[in-house]
Structures are given as C-alpha cells and as structure tokens.
Amino acid sequence: MGAGNMPNLNGQVALVTGAARGIGRAIALALAEDGADVAVFDILSDPLKEVEGEIKSRGGRAVAGQGDVSREEDVTKFVASVEQTLRPIDILVNNAGIGHSADTWSLPASEWQRTIQVNLTGAFLFSKAVIPGMISRRRGRIINIASTGGKVGWPKAAAYNASKHGLLGLTKSLAMELVEYGITVNAICPSWVMTEMAMQTAREIAASGGMSIEQALENMASTLPQKRIIAPEEVARLAVMLARPDSQAINGAAINIDGGSVPY
C-alpha cells in the first residue's frame, strides 16, 4: 500500500469531510491506498456511497456518513459511530467547503453565514470531537484544507476568503495547543483545483463574460504561474505525506500547492 520503504498508514483510521467528490474524494482514496481505514462524511449521500464502495472494492475498510458539518449533532454522532465501527480516529482531514462569487455589498447575510458555518465552524466541530481521543492516545494528525484565498484577498469572494483566513487561524492555534500531546495540525492551501467548485466558478465567469466554459477555465489557469489548474490527486498526495508518522516536525504550517502563485 505505501510507497517504497516510507512509513505508511496501516492500522490507522482517517476521517475525511466533504469526501463525496473533488479534493475530499481524492484524499480519501489516497489515504486508503496508503493503508488507512477511512471514514467519509458529506452532505451528498449517493456520491459518498460510491467513494465508500470504491475504497472497499480496492480491499480497504471504509464507512460513510451523510450529514452537515455545521451541525454539532451530526458531527458527534458520526465520530462516535466511526470509533465504534472502526477504531478511534488518528487522522482528521477537514475538507468540506463551499464558495460563491458575489460583490460583498450584494452578498446575502445568510450566504455569508452559511459559508462561515461550513468552511470554518465545520472544521472546529470535527476537531473538537476527535481531539480528546487524540490527546488520550498522545498522537494524531489534523489536516485542514484551506486555500491560497486564506492568505490573499480575491474580489467577489469575501465570505470564502474570510472563512479560509479563519481556518488558518484555527490551524495555528490548535497546533500550539496540541503540540505537547504529539498531535500536529497543518493546513494545505491550494489554488485552483479541478473540482465542481472550480467548474461552478468557470460557469459564472462564462455567463458574465459571454464566453465558453473552456475559455473561462483557460482564463482561470492563465492567472497561475504554471498556467494550469491543479488536479485533486496532487493535493491528496500532500495530505498523505502530512498524515504519515514521519511528518511529525511539520506543525502549524500552511503549505501552498499553487504552482508559485502566492509567495508566502
């Protein structure tokens, strides 16, 4: 399962939120490939079951749970179920996220609140649910999928940017709180990744700019130094690295995976 003689994740349990598609799906599959048992959580039920089935078809162990990351009842219920069905959670990947494009002054307050709830509160609730067990075992990995939008500002993305800046703040605080227990907390900051969220943005750009979706995607890629949109599997490989035992020295980091678009 693991690559070469690198330590792999055999015997560990990982939980990935927003795992039904895109980055979350790629991370769940990569963690399973590296030997972890994987719990997958998403608000989308049918594609989530497909991810669970794909992991099992490759010989891995998986359990799926449908729910809302911003509802504490859904979170605590699923964490308890995973710990009963598999084992205590060693690796948490807070990936669930949403985003919309709008001028800040025309953004409905309900949309602002929902973005913060999913992108930031969801990560807080899942972290809160798994940390006591990690502390008792004195080990664990929490990996937050943030964004280069957590380091810079983008127009028409105030709610998304604010949520991802907040997620980096949560990452850094937790990293310092948990360091004495052998737990690391890090963030991954991708730029454009070929996901449904990116496709939705491309559709919005195409509609407002009178162009095709293909042209919109090319315009998005042209803003990046490598002139390409990243594949979800590239993010997944970084997540696996951070999840492994030999990544202990990496803590409180916000690692860009953006082809060099953000210089810090």
Is residue 160 among the annotated active site residues?
Answer: yes
Contact between 123 and 94 under an 8 Å Cβ cutoff? The reply is: yes
- Write phi, then psi, for 256 (nearest 5 degrees): -75, 140
80/99 Cα distance (integer angstroms):
29
Contact between 49 and 25 under an 8 Å Cβ cutoff? The reply is: no
Candidate list 78, 124, 160, 192, residue with the active-site label: 160
Question: What does the block give as tokens for 128?
Answer: 């809160």
Chain centroid offset of residue 80 CA: 21
63/73 Cα distance (integer angstroms):
18
Q: If 0-12 CB within 10 Å is exposed, 13-18 middle and 19+ buried, where does residue 147 land?
A: buried
Beta bridge partners of 255: 188
88/94 Cα distance (integer angstroms):
17
Contact between 81 and 5 under an 8 Å Cβ cutoff? The reply is: no
Question: What does the block give as tokens for 113?
Answer: 């609140």
Would you name the residues annotated as active-site residues?
Answer: 160
